[in-house]
Amino acid sequence: MSARRVGPFARAALVSLVAAAGACSGPASAVLPPPRVSSQAPAPAAPPAELTPQPAPSDLSQKTATAPADPQPETAAPDDLSPQTAKRPAPTTPLELVFVGDIILGKYRLDAYAPLFAADADPFAAVADLLKADAAIANLETPLMHTRPERSPIYIGSRFGADKQAARALVGRFAALGVANNHALDLLTAGLEQTPAVLRELGLTPVGEARKTGDVVQVATLERGGWRVALLAATTWLNRSPAPGDPALAVFKTGEMPRRLLPAVRSARATHDLVVVLLHWGQEYSEGPDHAQKTAARRLLAGGADLVVGHHPHVLQGLERHEHGLIAYSLGNFLFANTDERSRESGVLRVRYLPGQRCPERASFHPVWLGEAPGFTPAPAPAAQAKEIAKHMQARSKLLRTPLTRDGDALVLSGWSCPPEPDPKAM
């Protein structure tokens, strides 16, 4: 067939047909990668209406994780607030929040169980004054059951678990506990389901609990002195994959945290005075965050969060002041069976807010030293240890361009310049 010349009008029609065909095929970014399991769990392809988790592998020697369903895309907060939100009076008194690191209440050793403290003991007695605040918040790395099994139901190196009686040690010290972490399935389905129930029965608020239906990213609310504080939690991996039918946890890669969490952050921003995000992430025994963590934390603050608090590395990492907010990348251990001398360095982070302000009036870090085996209980750090802890925290925070100044035994961060409340439609 001989070639023919195409006139200008025919050429325009051809261009229009090609463009329409490309639009029907959709952008390349709409094609999600297949699901896979890794220590930094990526998001799977969008599942059908009923999500069926993959069965747990028979070989549990590797750290594995299963990511939950992809939530809705990021959306801005609604243009108008509900009448109930609009009528809610603003806080009139300051708010002080306290944050600490990882807590376990007991662990399995081979075929035996080792509690970290006696049934009638108070492991937090020595730090009671440091924990006094409107609300104290920690990461609970011990799944709970009403009655704990005598032997571990799984076979991995570190296996944690405790019963309701042991969890009573948290009452009167803490208001909320993050439960989205890599040990959430150490007591299998029973522990995954009973942990939030036990905490609620004790008057404590679970943050990041597993869910059978709905979005795995959820907001827990603390109300203190007229303040409404939103709490969210997520983890980057699990020790084992969930069993079929297990409730799903918020398990995401570090780089995916902003995309997965910001819709809930923005929604909470419209109905809460503060938004706090608890993240179980990072590398164990690393003294600082990686680039992905820093980027994710800063994006969460820019998108509406006020505080980002990290756990899992078992050692202290630096504090970072970013715009109006504060990032604590890792607060180390707080009650833990320590395996490394560095992990005995701990601390209490106190953050104080004034009414009508999202940036802290003052943040202070108070050095804590974890005791000897078998209790490893926290106490205000003796002079020598306090000096070393302060030195380490100042150096690690300086790398994040956040100077900490000494005020007695504490390290202090103050002098925020509070920006105007951002327009949710612009975030």
| pLDDT score of 421 | 57
| pLDDT score of 190 | 97
Closest to 256 (Cα-Cα) out of 212, 295, 216, 311: 295
What the block records as the tokens of 86 is 């609009």
User: Among 9-13, 281-285, 374-378, which range has the highest average pLDDT?
Assistant: 281-285
| Rounded average pLDDT over 179-200 | 97
Q: DSSP code of 89?
A: P
d(CA 55, CA 57): 6
What the block records as the tokens of 192 is 């995954």
Q: Which residues make Cβ contacts (< 8 Å) with residue 377, sequence separation at least 6?
A: 116, 117, 123, 124, 126, 335, 370, 371
Residue 216 pLDDT > 60: yes
| pLDDT score of 374 | 80
| pLDDT score of 111 | 74
Edge-first strand listing for the sheet containing 159-160: 112-115, 106-109, 159-160
| Rounded average pLDDT over 167-175 | 98
| pLDDT score of 22 | 40
φ, ψ of residue 232 to 5 degrees: the values are -130, 155
Instruction: Enter the pTM of the model.
Output: 0.79
Residue 34 pLDDT > 70: no
Q: Which residues make Cβ contacts (< 8 Å) with residue 188, sequence separation at least 6?
A: 153, 154, 243
| pLDDT score of 390 | 97
| Rounded average pLDDT over 57-82 | 38
Alpha-helical regions (H) of 88-187: 128-131, 164-167
Query: 115 vs 120, 337, 338, 361, 396, CA distance in Å?
Result: 12, 10, 13, 39, 33
Q: Sketch the domain layout of the chain as residue ranges.
A: 96-426
CB 177 within 8 A of CB 139: yes
d(CA 357, CA 341): 39
Higher pLDDT, 177 or 119: 177
Q: Which residues make Cβ contacts (< 8 Å) with residue 12, sequence separation at least 6?
A: none
Lowest mean pLDDT among 50-64, 167-181, 310-324, 330-344: 50-64
- Percent of the chain's residues with pLDDT above 70: 78
What the block records as the tokens of 207 is 């943050």
d(CA 406, CA 58): 52
Closest to 417 (Cα-Cα) out of 330, 346, 325: 325
Q: For domain 96-426, is the CATH number 3.60.21?
A: yes
| pLDDT score of 183 | 96
| pLDDT score of 309 | 98
Exposed/middle/buried for 141, CB within 10 Å: 0-12, 13-18, 19+? Answer: buried
Compute the mean pLDDT over every residue in the chain, rounded to the nearest whole number. Answer: 83
Neighbours of 149 (CB within 10 A): 15
What the block records as the tokens of 401 is 């361009």
Lowest mean pLDDT among 12-26, 139-153, 251-265, 299-313: 12-26
Q: Which residues make Cβ contacts (< 8 Å) with residue 77, sequence separation at least 6?
A: 266, 267, 269, 270, 304, 424, 425, 427
Largest CA distance in the chain: 96
Neighbours of 134 (CB within 10 A): 18
| pLDDT score of 375 | 79
| Rounded average pLDDT over 176-184 | 97
* CA atoms within a 13 Å half-sphere pointing along the CA-CB vector of 335: 27
Q: What is the pLDDT of residues 279-293, one digit of tens each?
A: 999 999 999 999 999
Higher pLDDT, 326 or 373: 326
| Rounded average pLDDT over 351-364 | 95
Give residue 46's pLDDT band: very low, low, confident or very high (50, 70, 90). very low
| pLDDT score of 420 | 58
| pLDDT score of 87 | 62
How many Å separate Cα 422 from the centre of its chain?
Answer: 24
Neighbours of 87 (CB within 10 A): 8
